[in-house]
Amino acid sequence: MLLAIDAGNTNVVFAIYEGDQQRGLWRTATDKKRTADEYMVWVTHLMSLKGLGPADIDSAIIASVVPGATFNLKRLCKDHFGCEPLVVGQPEVDLGTRALVDRPDEVGADRLVNTVAAAATYKTPLIVIDFGTATTFDVVDRDGNYRGGVIAPGLNLSLEALQMAASKLPRVEIQQPGHVIGTNTVECMQSGVFWGYVGLIEGLVNRIRAEYGEPMTVVATGGLGVLFAKATHVIEHTDGELTLRGLLLIHKRNTAQ
């Protein structure tokens, strides 16, 4: 079985695949100080609830945008699961896509993995919107190559900054308000955050499409993708497991499975 690990700035996601079938999916908060042993205690307990154990894992793949966490995740795979993981971004790992940008080595592993999965699943060219710690808009050309994009502050990050800078503003839940014009502080904040982000999404998608000069499929991933897809017509598909599916595809490509 394959252990696929997606280490983002906010969460680390672990998934186990038997062929194309997902046998388990878990996430934990990203912590650069968490050791391989600590990961092992946590993930093997959850695996046992699915009737799985370390001996079931024979291969692993990692995509990480947190260098401080990558070392211990690699040690987890080597020391506790007995396998040398493929690490997205290493020269020997064939992604099946090219980063046609000024500095390819600076493109985040998650953005490349999303490119692979999106190109294999949806009509190209396309825009992948990933609602994570940052909200990214990635452009994938007709040949499935990464052509650049946009990085904007993530929704939660923007909300935290607002609360930190304005001491009288309360902490609010992210949800779609019934009206644009709020009649109390909470409604005003929810409207500004939610509808402001809808404006960001629609504005950037329209500008990217106009600059690219072709019709483009728009796919949203990340935890808030579904919420915003309901509020705007520009998001055509939501795919919460795009990154994990990309890791599965890359592993297959590099192991000829």
CB 146 within 8 A of CB 171: no
CA pair distance 63, 69, nearest whole angstrom: 11
* Marked catalytic residue, from 56, 110, 138, 141: 110
CA pair distance 132, 11, nearest whole angstrom: 9
6 is in an annotated binding site: yes
82 is in an annotated binding site: no
243 is in an annotated binding site: no
- In this structure, which amino acid lies at residue 184? N
11 is in an annotated binding site: yes
Map residue 177 onto helix, strand or coil.
coil
Examine the residue annotation and report whether 110 is marked as an active-site residue of this protein.
Answer: yes
- In this structure, which amino acid lies at residue 47? M
Q: How many CB atoms sit inside 10 A of residue 241's CB?
A: 16
130 is in an annotated binding site: yes
Tell which residue, 153, 204, 195, has the closest CA to residue 175. 195
79 is in an annotated binding site: no
CB 130 within 8 A of CB 114: yes
109 is in an annotated binding site: yes
221 is in an annotated binding site: no
108 is in an annotated binding site: yes
**Annotated binding residues for ATP:** 6-13, 133
**Annotated binding residues for substrate:** 108-111, 185
Supply the residues annotated as catalytic. 110
**Annotated binding residues for K(+):** 130
**Annotated binding residues:** 6-13, 108-111, 130, 133, 185
